[in-house]
C-alpha cells in the first residue's frame, strides 16, 4: 500500500446506552465464550462513499441514535463481563453502554482508494482510536464504535468487539440491526437470541477447537503484513485446472485456501519432513444436533486442523491440496461433535514449529459488505488487520465492479519471505490462466 498520512480530530468518547429501559440481570455465557482463545478483541471497518443522506443527515448522529435503539434488543452488549468460579464468564446487564467516538479526518475516500483500501490501512489507529481503559476483557465496555467523516462526504465506521460476547457472525448480526434502524425501519428483522446454555463443551455434541501440538519455547519473529486480491475469474481459472470431480465440485473457499496454503509453504521454505498445518474455522450454527436458533449471536465457531508434510504439499498438485482442505472441513463438521469432557482435543501426535502454522477464516458471507446505513453499501467492509498466522477471506469489488476477494496475511521478516510469496502467487495465477 502506498504511504498516506492524514490528521483525525476526535471528540471525547461517550457511553451510548440502550435508548429505553432494559432488564438489569446477570446472564451466563457459554463454555465456548469463556475459553481463553475467545478472550480477545476483534476489529472491523466499513468505508462508505457517503454523500447527502436523507434531509442532510449526519452519519455519526444517525448511527449513534440507531446504536442506542439496537442496544434495547441487544442489551447484554451494554453490560460488563466478569469472571466467576472456574474462570466462567458471566455478563452483568447493567445498561452502562458501549463506547462511541465521533471524528473528522482530513482525507478523501479517493485518497484511501488510491492507497489501496486494503489491510493494513494507513492511520488505522486514528480511525479506530484505542480509548484508554477500553481494551480489557473484564469490567470494560464490550464494544467500541468510531464514526469518522471524510472530506468528500464519505465516512468510516470502525468497531472493536469483545470476542467473548460474539463471533464475527454475531457482531455482524448486531451491526446489521443498527443499519436497519439507521435507515428508519420500524424494527429489526432478526431478533437476537441468547440461549448460551445450549453450548456446553462437556456435552457430547458440542465441538471444541482442535489444537495441534507445537514445539515449546519457539518465539515468533517480527512480521510484515500485506493484502492480496483475487478476482472471481482467477478462481474460475484455478477451478478449471483441477481434475475431475473437483473441477465441478470444489468451492471457492477450498480452492483459495489450498492455493494460499501451498504458496505460503513455498515462500517460507519449510524443510522437507516438517509439518505445515492448516487450521480452518468452521461455523457450526447449522448443525441439527445443536439446534441453535436463528438469531443466536454468541460464539459458534470451532476449528479443524489438517496436517501435511511440507515437501508433499509443495510438490503435489493444487487438486491434492484442495482435497486435503475438503477433508479438513468435513472433520470440523463431524469429528469434533463428540465428548470433550477431558479438555481440548489434540489431533495428531507430531509436533511442529508454530511458524509453519497457517489459519484461514472465511468472512465473505457474513454480510458486512451489504450493510447500508442510508448511504449505500460500503466500498470495503472487513477486518482491519490480521495476525500471525491468520488469513481472512474478505469480499470486495475490484475497480471494474467484478467480484473479488482480499486476503491479508502476515509473514515473518525479513521481506524476502513476502516477496517469495507474491512471486509464487503471480507464477501460479499465470499458470492457471492457461486453462481458461
Mapping DSSP onto H, E and C, the string for 336-382 reads CCCCCCCCCCCCCCCCECHHHCEEEEECCCCCHHHCCCCCCCCCEEE
Question: pLDDT tier at 204 (50, 70, 90 boundaries)?
Answer: very low
Residue 93: closest CA among 72, 120, 117:
72
When pLDDT is averaged across residues 84-108 and rounded to a whole number, the result is 97
Question: pLDDT tier at 341 (50, 70, 90 boundaries)?
Answer: very low
Question: pLDDT tier at 435 (50, 70, 90 boundaries)?
Answer: low
When pLDDT is averaged across residues 80-84 and rounded to a whole number, the result is 97
Task: Report the largest interatomic distance among the alpha carbons of the chain, rounded to a whole angstrom.
Answer: 65
Residues 114, 130: Cα–Cα separation, whole Å:
26
Question: pLDDT tier at 415 (50, 70, 90 boundaries)?
Answer: confident
pTM: 0.91
What does the block give as the cell for 251? 468451492
Contact call for residues 210 and 346 (beta carbons, < 8 A): yes
Residue 332 pLDDT > 70, yes or no? no
Residues 242-258 have pLDDT tens digits of 999 999 999 999 999 99
What percent of the chain shows pLDDT beyond 90?
76
Residue 165 pLDDT > 70, yes or no? yes
When pLDDT is averaged across residues 276-280 and rounded to a whole number, the result is 95
Which sequence positions are flagged as catalytic? 163, 372
Question: pLDDT tier at 414 (50, 70, 90 boundaries)?
Answer: confident
* Strand 403-412 with 390-397, pairing: antiparallel
SS3 of 428, please?
Answer: helix
What pLDDT, on a 0 to 100 scale, did the predictor assign at position 54?
A: 57
Contact call for residues 156 and 165 (beta carbons, < 8 A): no
Residues 354-395 have pLDDT tens digits of 889 999 999 999 999 999 999 999 999 999 999 999 999 999
Residues 143, 427: Cα–Cα separation, whole Å:
42
Please state, rounded to an integer, the average pLDDT across all residues of the chain.
Answer: 89
What pLDDT, on a 0 to 100 scale, did the predictor assign at position 350?
A: 55
Contact call for residues 196 and 78 (beta carbons, < 8 A): no
What does the block give as the cell for 91? 455478563
What pLDDT, on a 0 to 100 scale, did the predictor assign at position 201?
A: 62
How far are the Cα atoms of 18, 29, 84, 254 from residue 26, in angstroms, in the given order?
A: 16, 10, 12, 41
Q: Which of 30-44, 58-72, 217-231, 238-252 has the lowest mean pLDDT?
A: 217-231
What pLDDT, on a 0 to 100 scale, did the predictor assign at position 351?
A: 65
What pLDDT, on a 0 to 100 scale, did the predictor assign at position 182?
A: 98
Amino acid at each position: 500500500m502506498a504511504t498516506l498520512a492524514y490528521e483525525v480530530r476526535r471528540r471525547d468518547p461517550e457511553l451510548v446506552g440502550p435508548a429505553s429501559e432494559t432488564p438489569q440481570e446477570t446472564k451466563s455465557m457459554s463454555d465456548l465464550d469463556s475459553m481463553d482463545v475467545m478472550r480477545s478483541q476483534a476489529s472491523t471497518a466499513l468505508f462508505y462513499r457517503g454523500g447527502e443522506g436523507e434531509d442532510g443527515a449526519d452519519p455519526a448522529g444517525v448511527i449513534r441514535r440507531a446504536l442506542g435503539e439496537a442496544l434495547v434488543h441487544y442489551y447484554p452488549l451494554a453490560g460488563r463481563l466478569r469472571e466467576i468460579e472456574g474462570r466462567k464468564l458471566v455478563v452483568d446487564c447493567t445498561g452502562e453502554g458501549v463506547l462511541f467516538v465521533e471524528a473528522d479526518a482530513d482525507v478523501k475516500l479517493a485518497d484511501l482508494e488510491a492507497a489501496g483500501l486494503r489491510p493494513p490501512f494507513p492511520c488505522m489507529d486514528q480511525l479506530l482510536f484505542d480509548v484508554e481503559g477500553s481494551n480489557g476483557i473484564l469490567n470494560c465496555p464490550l464494544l467500541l464504535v468510531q464514526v469518522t467523516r471524510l472530506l468528500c462526504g464519505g465516512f468510516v465506521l470502525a468497531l472493536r468487539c469483545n470476542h467473548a460476547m460474539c463471533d464475527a457472525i454475531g457482531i455482524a448480526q448486531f451491526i446489521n440491526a443498527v443499519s436497519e434502524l439507521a435507515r428508519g425501519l420500524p424494527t429489526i428483522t432478526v431478533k437476537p437470541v441468547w440461549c448460551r446454555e445450549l453450548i456446553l463443551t462437556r456435552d457430547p455434541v458440542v465441538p471444541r477447537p482442535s489444537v495441534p501440538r507445537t514445539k515449546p519455547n519457539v518465539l515468533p519473529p517480527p512480521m510484515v503484513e500485506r493484502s492480496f486480491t483475487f478476482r472471481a475469474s482467477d478462481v474460475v481459472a484455478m477451478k478449471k485446472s483441477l481434475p475431475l470431480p473437483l473441477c465441478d465440485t470444489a468451492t471457492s473457499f477450498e480452492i483459495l485456501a489450498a492455493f494460499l496454503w501451498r504458496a505460503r509453504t513455498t515462500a517460507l521454505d519449510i524443510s522437507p519432513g516438517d509439518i505445515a498445518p492448516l487450521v480452518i474455522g468452521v461455523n457450526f450454527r447449522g448443525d441439527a444436533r445443536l439446534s441453535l436458533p436463528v438469531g443466536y449471536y454468541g460464539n459458534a465457531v470451532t476449528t479443524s486442523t489438517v496436517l501435511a508434510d511440507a515437501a508433499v504439499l509443495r510438490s503435489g498438485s493444487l487438486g491434492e491440496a484442495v482435497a486435503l482442505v475438503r477433508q479438513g472441513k468435513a472433520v470440523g463438521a463431524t469429528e469434533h461433535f463428540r465428548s470433550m469432557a477431558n479438555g481440548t482435543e489434540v489431533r495428531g501426535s507430531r509436533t511442529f514449529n508454530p511458524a509453519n502454522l497457517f489459519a484461514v477464516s472465511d468472512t465473505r458471507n457474513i454480510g458486512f459488505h451489504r450493510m447500508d446505513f442510508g448511504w449505500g453499501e460500503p466500498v470495503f467492509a472487513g477486518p482491519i488487520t490480521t495476525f500471525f498466522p491468520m488469513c481472512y477471506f474478505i469480499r470486495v469489488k475490484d475497480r471494474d465492479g467484478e467480484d473479488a476477494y482480499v486476503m491479508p496475511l502476515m509473514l515473518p521478516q525479513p521481506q524476502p519471505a513476502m516477496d517469495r510469496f507474491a512471486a509464487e502467487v503471480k507464477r501460479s495465477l499465470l499458470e492457471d490462466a492457461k486453462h481458461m
